[in-house]
Amino acid sequence: MSALTCGLIASRPVITITPDRTILDAARIMAERDIGFLVLVEPKNPRRAIGVISERDIIRTIAKGVPLDSTVDKVDTIGSLLVTVSVDDPITIAVEKMARYRIRHLIVLDRDGNLYGVIAMRDIIGRLSRGRVIFELA
């Protein structure tokens, strides 16, 4: 048996945001795209992930009274670690990291360390619920 890799299951293209955008921008992007997670990237290099912002981060930030027109670098990201996997890592590594860090999203990096995709727990669960397994015959 050979393991499916993170690169094969990763969602692409990645929905990103730069630190100069507002909290309201982030919330609107998430609502429009029906996603709960954005990858924060360098403004001059959108393939370089520098952080993540989740719906929970935005809610926590708003609850602290931070104005919606504040830039996303003001978002309370205490619960959102920049946890990554490689395109070549087996899916089991992604599952292990999600469990270890108690997170629902992972950033997938290509072999050069650039942003490649994102894996959400629902991607893995969806794959399993459609009768596909984490391991397939080689």
Which domains are present in the chain? 2-136 (3.10.580.10)
| Residue 134: both structure tokens together | 């984490």
- Asked if residue 129 has pLDDT above 80, the reply is no
CA distance 17 to 41: 6
Using CA atoms, how far apart are residues 75 and 68, in angstroms rounded to an integer? 10
Prediction pTM value: 0.84
Return the amino acid letter for 130: R
Q: Collapse the DSSP code of 62 into the 3-class scheme (helix H, G, I; strand E, B; otherwise coil) and give the result.
A: helix
Output the six-digit token pair for 47: 């393939």
Say if residue 138's pLDDT is above 50: no
CB contact set of 31 (below 8 Å; sequence gap of 6+) = none
Tell me the pLDDT tens digit for each residue of 77-102.
755 678 999 999 999 999 999 999 98
- Residue 46: its H or E element: strand 45-54
Residue whose token pair is 């469990």: 99
Q: For residue 46, what are its two tokens?
A: 């959108």
